[in-house]
Amino acid sequence: MIKVLLVDDHPMVIRGLRFFLSTQEDIVVAGEAYDGQEAIEKTAELLPDVILMDLDLPVINGIEATKKITEKHPEIKVIILTSYSDQGHVVPAIRAGAAGYQLKDIEPEQLAETIRGAFKGTAQIHPQVANQLMTHVAGGNTTDSSLVEKLTRREEEVLSLIAAGRSNKEISSELFITEKTVKTHVSNILAKLQVNDRTQAAIYAMKHGYDKV
């Protein structure tokens, strides 16, 4: 069962999310918070698997709350659920450690799949948001294209599967290698591309065509 913490300052949004998620057999709403500080406290108390986090929150905003939560609880996946799709919100949220970024116009079933994907360790990003991240990367704010030359053929294969949204377990099965080996490859990829997480690696892969290797 995937335990989810809902964070939004609008009670109607919380109520709607709770109602929909109650229809999912493998997801349970563990609690709710109405501001960033409460989200941090509830996270420590409830230790959810996934957090649905709004950005425009009182007391502490969603980006700062995400940063504090992921620093203290790196195993907990934070999915940003907001109306903002501009770089000024998207990039800081990903840098803060968000494992996903979705807009509030998302279809309910897609939201459920986003939660499941994040729980499995797969980055879940709205296409419109991905475009903003791609623009950010293209602007020279992340990695240099020459860095990919440092990757081995196996690392390129792993990178392409990361971009396809595969979890370590799925990569292990597809390439017939152990999960421990996958983790080693992922660590090497992040170091060589000079990025902080799988999301940034996936964006890099898409920009340079390594999602089709």
- What is the rounded CA–CA span in Å between residue 196 and residue 155? 16
pLDDT value at residue 124: 72
- Which tokens sit at 61? 């905003």
For residue 12, which phi and psi values (nearest 5 degrees)? Answer: -65, -35
- Cα separations in angstroms, 192 against 61, 134, 203: 32, 19, 15
pLDDT value at residue 40: 98
- Does residue 212 surpass a pLDDT of 60? no
Q: Give the pLDDT band (50/70/90) at residue 143.
A: very low
* 77, β-bridge pairs: 50
Range 13-36 average pLDDT: 97
